[in-house]
Amino acid sequence: MTPVRVIVWGENRHEKIEEHVRKIYPDGMHETIADGIRENLGDGAVVRTVTLDDPEHGLTEEVLQDTDVLVWWGHAAHGDVADEVVERVHRHVLSGMGLIVLHSGHWSKIFMKLMGTSCTLRWRSEHDRELIWTVDPTHPIAEGVPHPLEIEEDEMYGEFFDIPAPDELIFISTFSGGEAFRSGCTFHRGHGKIFYFRPGDQDYPTYHHKDVRRVIANGVKWARTVRPERAAPVLLRYETGEFFKGAGYTGPLG
């Protein structure tokens, strides 16, 4: 199998503005996330990074066509992502590109568009300990992940998390404050596979955590499509007895 082609998209705002974030992620959060994937997948992946400030946010048609799986980290600047780029990414997901959405990406335009809900939740950034429990132990994304996965301190996200019921619920987090969160969820949209994974905040070294990196890398492997072509589902008319050749749509009125 050829290596999976991965783009890690980073908003790259906190790192520029906030000294304490830059200290944890001196090359930007996206570089640390990318390193974690390389560390786990080795020759099995070619991982690049792009950021919000790149032309077209680094997500041109050409780039997306060469991308098997897109990993998304954003937080402070969701509103700055151009609608046109969101539409393009959406089209590529429905056409078969995998998508990994991390943490605060729950409020990104692309995730909300794919979910159809408010994607709201409860939160607190007060150094809670997080424990991540596996409830789907045969899922490939849970491979090699400790039960529980322990994160010494992290931001808290709690239920109710307003998402559609996930196709597969893999992980549930608890926090030292007592909250629970569905923190590892898969969704299928069109020909695309989506994995949402909760941990990680700019204020914590979460993306240096060995097991968090493992989960993200597992997600990348899982989200790569088995379909040979990048193509979205289309509406077609089929004659009686003809199952393979459909005709394009010509409008609702004869």
Please give the residues from 132 up to 171 whose contact with a copy of itself meets the rule CB under 8 A. 133-138, 140, 142-143, 146-148, 150, 158-162, 164-165, 167-169
**Region from 27-35, 48-56, 80-88, 177-185 binding a copy of itself, contact rule CB under 8 A:** 177-185
Contact predicate 57/33, CB 8 Å: no
Which of 25, 145, 40, 6 lies closest to 75 in space, CA to CA? 25
Cβ at position 193, least distance to a copy of itself in Å: 5
Residue with smaller CB distance to a copy of itself, 1 or 55: 1
Is there binding between residue 17 and a copy of itself (CB under 8 A)? yes
Contact predicate 156/177, CB 8 Å: yes
Contact predicate 129/175, CB 8 Å: yes
SS3 224: coil
Residue with smaller CB distance to a copy of itself, 35 or 169: 169
Q: Position of tokens 């609702």?
A: 252
Residue with smaller CB distance to a copy of itself, 43 or 244: 244
Which of 123, 153, 208, 211 forms a contact with a copy of itself (CB under 8 A)? 123
- Binding to a copy of itself (CB under 8 A) within 36-65 occurs at none
The dihedrals phi and psi of 117, each to the nearest 5 degrees, come to -120, -175
Which of 68, 151, 179, 212 forms a contact with a copy of itself (CB under 8 A)? 179
* C-alpha span between 182 and 163 (Å, rounded): 10
Residue with smaller CB distance to a copy of itself, 107 or 205: 107
Cβ at position 67, least distance to a copy of itself in Å: 16
Is there binding between residue 238 and a copy of itself (CB under 8 A)? yes
SS3 142: helix
* C-alpha span between 191 and 12 (Å, rounded): 29
Cβ at position 233, least distance to a copy of itself in Å: 4
Is there binding between residue 177 and a copy of itself (CB under 8 A)? yes
Element (H, E) at 20: helix 19-24
- Which pair of structure tokens corresponds to residue 111? 């995730």
SS3 156: strand
Cβ at position 142, least distance to a copy of itself in Å: 8
Is there binding between residue 246 and a copy of itself (CB under 8 A)? yes
SS3 185: strand
- Binding to a copy of itself (CB under 8 A) within 81-110 occurs at 94, 96, 104, 107
Which of 185, 192, 190 lies closest to 166 in space, CA to CA? 185
Cβ at position 63, least distance to a copy of itself in Å: 22
- Binding to a copy of itself (CB under 8 A) within 208-237 occurs at 225-227, 232-237
Cβ at position 117, least distance to a copy of itself in Å: 5
* One-character DSSP codes across 234-246: --EE--TT--S-P
